């Protein structure tokens, strides 16, 4: 007989974030009123965070497969693509926004821990991580606190695990003051035959709880992440998990050793919704069920009831389905690593998830009814185009106050490079390990991070990208630009783009204008991925990123992975010495709409975005890949945030050398490129579809021929000089002055 602490009412369901319609649906599945524990399980599993109920119908329109695909999007813990030689790259990005806005250190740290577990539960050893961060203006004390603590949490957790950070991005805007964004990505390597699955095949097979103990931290974290932030949320610190990276390191090694024995059928992280999620999802995938005895679950707090144990999101825990007769191997391996491994149940054949506590049956639920792709609800919400989009698009670039003459242009450039969105991120990345064991990150400071694939002479190139302002002004075009920029960022390192994962950060989906932004962003992502013929291997949707001040700038973060077939063709981000040339490859069509320069001069986000030619974007990446393979480039950089002058400076500036090379512009270039444009808009506006390459003078014709082959314009901008100055014709600045401005932008915000 089912046990419930109280009789459940509609008010209880509404308090758990369920709708009246959903409450009725639960009763239909059960044929009765739910128990307290069952209501908690449904509320967690049917939350936006677990069920994707307001996004899954649109997500299914994204291209999700390619000849390299080894796991279907959404069917495993992470995406997996073939990279040859019997190896696969496994990667995924997820958000931990709401927890980080409440308790930034643990929120960010456990975000890193959670995404790591998604990778190594597939049998892959993590080799690098990335992050994409959004905060409010750093000159405000609260934002400084959130930024510093989140960065510390990311660094401490990842460094303790010994996982190198290969790159990331950091962007500031007032919309993120009340609701910061912390997106974490991890990349791992596994052999094809070593890949594990999140399944629960075989009735009678043992179900093990492994890892750390269970406490009350993180209860209802999934539903907490599915609501707007409010003053009440500030007090919900119990919804934020507490991580232990040293325990995670033990869990990583134990899990990989266990998977390597072949003694298990399936394994899954106890992430969002904890035991509720792992038991139901693994069962539903195998069309089975589970009988679970919570009395056997290792607890670290007294008096925990079934509801709390099933919904706890305590960190560093896994659910394992073992093979019969090999139970002792599971127990012994985890005992060796000083971790719990306890059989808490078995797989059943009738598809029901049964949960017992203290001899009482507290829940009996069809596993299929709980999960995404099964009985979880699916909605398409009302769409309404925000009125501001057309209004802002009509504002011409010429309304930006002009910087005229050499002195004004030089001052504008120095002001631009020290702005937090462009300035050196050294105060951030120096808190992260970039060289661990056999893994060394190429850089940092490049557009894409390059990490050697252990045991090979090949490498992966990885990047996270999104210009939130662009998406705000035009969500479809802005998301196309995000995908294209991420592709360029791996292509300039010498890699072929393989596929993406996404982290879709938007406001409340019940507001029609917000859902329009989300819907259009999905369309833009699909457009771009189809153009590049690359899949979306999975990812994360994070709705409700808003407060009483309104939604954050929409941010569909793109995590891109590319393959470098030979380490010898890795292209540096740092330009070489005097006498070499800088060439611009691609269709240079700058626009100030949504640019950092426009925001600096007006304090606003407005105007039209730079145009996008998806076919040309793909041709550019193919040309960069071929050029790298032929060793035509000494260095290369994507031209995007900050504009052409900033990209030139970044290519010339080496933070690890006392002196940098300078640059002298070809005197004829301004009459052939950007003719008639205001000087400030030419140098500081932002463009798509371009890369800046550094070449030997002897390779000039070869690069021109490469451009002709792919239908790409090639312009020789000028020559590197030994005078350590940026001589751009319209203005000039010393590299020393530019470097001081660049390095000073963020430093003060990280000082105690």
Q: Which residue numbers are catalytic?
A: 49, 96
DSSP string covering 709-723:
HTT--EEEEEEEESS
Cis geometry, peptide bond prior to residue 444 (ω within 30 degrees of 0): yes
SS3 287: coil
DSSP string covering 640-698:
-TTHHHHHHHHHH--TTSSS--EEEE-TTHHHHSSTT--HHHHHHSB-SSEEEEEE-GG
Single out the residue of 315, 335, 338, 187 nearest to residue 248, CA to CA.
315
What are the phi and psi torsion angles at 686 (to 5°)?
-115, 150
Residue 510 has what DSSP assignment? T
Give, for 726, the enclosing helix (H) or strand (E): strand 725-727
Task: Kindly state the tokens that stand for 607.
Answer: 């105007």
Distance between CA atoms of residues 212 and 255, nearest Å: 13
Q: With contact defined as beta carbons under 8 Å apart, do 590 and 610 qualify?
A: yes
The residue ranges of DSSP E strands in 382-469, in sequence order, are 435-436, 439-442, 449-452, 459-465
Q: Which residues contact 219 (CB under 8 A, 6 or more apart)?
A: 238, 239, 308, 311, 312, 313
Distance between CA atoms of residues 326 and 567, nearest Å: 42
Task: Kindly state the tokens that stand for 107.
Answer: 């929120």
Single out the residue of 573, 503, 579, 575 nearest to residue 541, CA to CA.
503
**Which pairs with CB-CB distance under 8 Å and at least 24 residues apart come from 709-714?**
709/623, 710/619, 710/620, 710/622, 710/623, 711/616, 711/619, 712/585, 712/586, 712/587, 712/616, 712/619, 712/620, 712/623, 713/584, 713/585, 713/586, 713/587, 713/588, 714/583, 714/584, 714/585
Distance between CA atoms of residues 169 and 485, nearest Å: 13
Distance between CA atoms of residues 599 and 469, nearest Å: 10
**What value does the CA radius of gyration of the chain take, rounded to a whole number of Å?**
26
């Amino acid at each position: 007989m089912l046990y419930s602490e109280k009789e459940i009412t509609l008010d209880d369901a509404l308090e758990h974030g369920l709708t009246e319609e959903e409450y009725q649906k639960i009763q239909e599945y059960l044929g009765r009123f739910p128990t307290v524990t069952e209501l908690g399980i449904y509320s967690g599993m049917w939350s936006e965070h677990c069920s994707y109920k307001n996004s899954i119908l649109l997500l299914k329109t994204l291209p999700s497969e390619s000849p390299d695909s080894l796991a279907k999007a959404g069917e495993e813990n992470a995406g997996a693509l073939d990279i040859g030689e019997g190896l696969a790259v496994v990667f995924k990005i997820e958000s931990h926004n709401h927890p980080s806005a409440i308790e930034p250190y643990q929120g960010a740290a456990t975000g890193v821990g959670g995404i790591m577990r998604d990778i190594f539960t597939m049998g892959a050893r993590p080799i690098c991580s990335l992050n994409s961060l959004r905060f409010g203006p750093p000159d405000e004390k609260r934002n400084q606190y959130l930024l510093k603590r989140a960065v510390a949490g990311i660094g401490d957790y990842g460094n303790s695990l010994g996982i190198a950070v290969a790159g990331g991005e950091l962007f500031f805007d007032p919309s993120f003051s009340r609701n910061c964004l912390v997106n974490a990505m991890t990349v791992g390597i596994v052999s094809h035959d070593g890949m594990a699955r999140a399944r629960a095949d075989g009735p009678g097979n043992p179900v093990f709880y492994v890892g750390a103990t269970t406490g009350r931290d993180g209860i209802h974290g999934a539903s907490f992440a599915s609501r707007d932030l409010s003053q009440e949320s500030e007090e919900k610190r119990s919804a934020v998990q507490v991580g232990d990276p040293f325990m995670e390191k033990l869990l990583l090694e134990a899990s990989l050793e266990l998977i390597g024995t072949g003694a298990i059928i399936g394994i899954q992280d106890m992430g969002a919704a904890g035991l509720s999620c792992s038991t139901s999802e693994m069962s539903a995938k195998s069309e089975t069920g589970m009988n679970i005895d919570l009395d056997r679950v290792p607890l670290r707090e007294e008096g925990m009831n079934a509801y709390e144990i099933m919904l706890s999101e305590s960190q560093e825990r896994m659910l394992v389905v073992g093979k019969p007769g090999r139970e002792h191997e599971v127990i012994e391996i985890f005992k060796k690593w000083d971790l719990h491994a306890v059989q808490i149940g078995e797989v059943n054949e009738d598809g029901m998830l049964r949960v017992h506590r203290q001899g009482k049956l507290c829940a009996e639920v069809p596993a299929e009814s709980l999960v995404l792709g099964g009985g979880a609800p699916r909605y398409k919400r009302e769409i309404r185009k925000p009125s501001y989009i057309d209004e802002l698009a009509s504002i011409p670039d010429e309304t930006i106050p002009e910087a005229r003459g050499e002195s004004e242009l030089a001052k504008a450039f120095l002001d631009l490079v020290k702005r937090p969105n462009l300035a050196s991120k050294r105060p951030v990345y120096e808190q992260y390990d970039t060289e661990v064991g056999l893994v060394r990150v190429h850089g940092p400071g490049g557009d894409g991070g390059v990490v050697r694939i252990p045991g090979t002479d090949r490498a992966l190139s990885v990047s996270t990208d999104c210009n939130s302002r662009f998406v705000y002004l035009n969500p479809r075009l802005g998301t196309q630009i995000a995908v294209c920029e991420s592709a360029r960022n791996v292509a300039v390192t010498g890699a072929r783009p393989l596929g993406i994962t996404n982290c879709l950060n938007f406001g409340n989906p019940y507001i029609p204008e917000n859902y329009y932004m989300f819907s259009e962003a999905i369309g833009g992502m699909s457009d771009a991925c189809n153009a590049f013929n690359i899949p979306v291997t999975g990812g994360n949707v994070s709705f409700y990123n808003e407060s009483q001040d309104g939604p954050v700038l929409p941010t569909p973060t793109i995590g891109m992975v590319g393959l470098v077939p030979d380490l010898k063709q890795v292209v540096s981000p740092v330009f070489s010495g005097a006498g070499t040339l800088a060439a611009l490859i691609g269709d240079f069509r700058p626009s100030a709409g949504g640019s950092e320069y426009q925001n600096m001069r007006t304090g606003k986000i407005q105007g039209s975005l730079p145009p996008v030619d998806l076919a040309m974007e793909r041709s550019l990446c193919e040309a960069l890949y071929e050029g790298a393979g032929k060793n035509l480039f000494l260095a290369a950089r994507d031209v995007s945030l900050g504009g052409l002058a900033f990209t030139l400076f970044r290519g010339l500036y080496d933070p690890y050398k006392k002196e940098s090379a300078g640059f002298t512009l070809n005197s004829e270039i301004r009459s052939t490129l950007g003719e008639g444009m205001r000087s400030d808009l030419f140098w500081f506006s932002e463009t798509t579809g371009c890369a800046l390459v550094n070449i030997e003078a002897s390779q000039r014709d070869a690069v021109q021929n490469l451009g002709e082959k792919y239908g790409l314009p090639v312009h020789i901008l000028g020559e590197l000089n030994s005078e350590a100055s940026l001589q751009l014709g319209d203005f000039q600045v010393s590299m020393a002055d530019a470097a001081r401005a660049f390095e000073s932008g963020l430093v003060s915000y990280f000082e105690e």
